[in-house]
Amino acid sequence: MSFFKFLKIMMFCFNGIIFLAGGAILGVGIWLKVDAGSFLDILMKAAPQLKQVVNVGYLCIALGSFLVLIGFLGCFGAVKENKIMLMIFFIIVLLIFIALVAGAVVILAFSGLADIFVSYIQVWAVNSIKNEYGKIPDITTLWDTVMTEFKCCGFTTYEDFTNSTDYFLTSKYPEECCITSYPCSAANIDHSKPGCYQSLLDFLKRHTKILGIVALVVCVLEIGAMTASMILFCQIRKREQTV
């Protein structure tokens, strides 16, 4: 088997996996937006802790569509020896590569700047709790998810909710803030539960380096994909010039 055919097979297999994965993610995203109820029923039985995934339908659709496009360009371009598709594939992967390198550098450097970042978002976080929690469904779901996953309450303390619009209307705190889930009032607040500020800070310090390393590994794979697509492009053009 020639090196050229080997590259074609590798490009087809690699991008075929991307295409199928993208199709699956796209299908899940469409399912979430069309019939979230049935999807949630299945998800709750299989993995109740993932129930908040129903709120990322549009993200799944966007990501799935992008992966399908990338996979199609790589597969079809390699099999049909289409120079235009291979070049488009190369450019898109190159742009992703540049973005990932920049992101990895920022993330690795960011591990020492986590305190500054969390402090920076404090104003937004406290204002969103005060003015938007309980009124805007996406913001409410976001905070409920964060507090559940990080086992925290409010951004600094539970008192972030005391002067909020939601508390003014209901006189209740979120269930995540209390020892007993219902009714969640000032009488049964779990004072041992920290604010999400400290939980988020600890999480960032633990995981930023891992995220940066993962991004760098993905970059290496992208270098391989770009190299293969460019070699195929050059070989195809060389063939055309000799004919």
CATH at 163: 1.10.1450.10
For the chain, the domain total comes to 2
Residues 234 and 218 in one domain: no
119 and 91 assigned to the same domain: no
Same domain, 87 and 71: yes
The residue segments making up the domain with residue 70 are: 3-102+228-242
Angle, CA 197 vertex, CA 191 and CA 199 arms, to 5°: 75
- If asked whether residues 151 and 209 sit together in one domain, one would say yes
Would the pLDDT of 50 be above 60? no
Instruction: Quote the pTM value.
Output: 0.56
Same domain, 110 and 220: yes
pLDDT by residue (tens digit) across 67-107? 899 989 888 888 888 888 889 999 998 988 888 777 667 66
Q: What is the pLDDT of residues 112-157, one digit of tens each?
A: 555 566 566 777 888 888 888 888 887 888 888 888 888 899 888 8
The answer on pLDDT for 40 being more than 60 is no
- Give the confidence band of 49 by pLDDT, cuts at 50, 70, 90: very low
Residues whose CB falls within 8 Å of the CB of residue 195, separated by 6 or more in sequence, listed in order: 152, 153, 154, 155, 156, 157, 158, 160
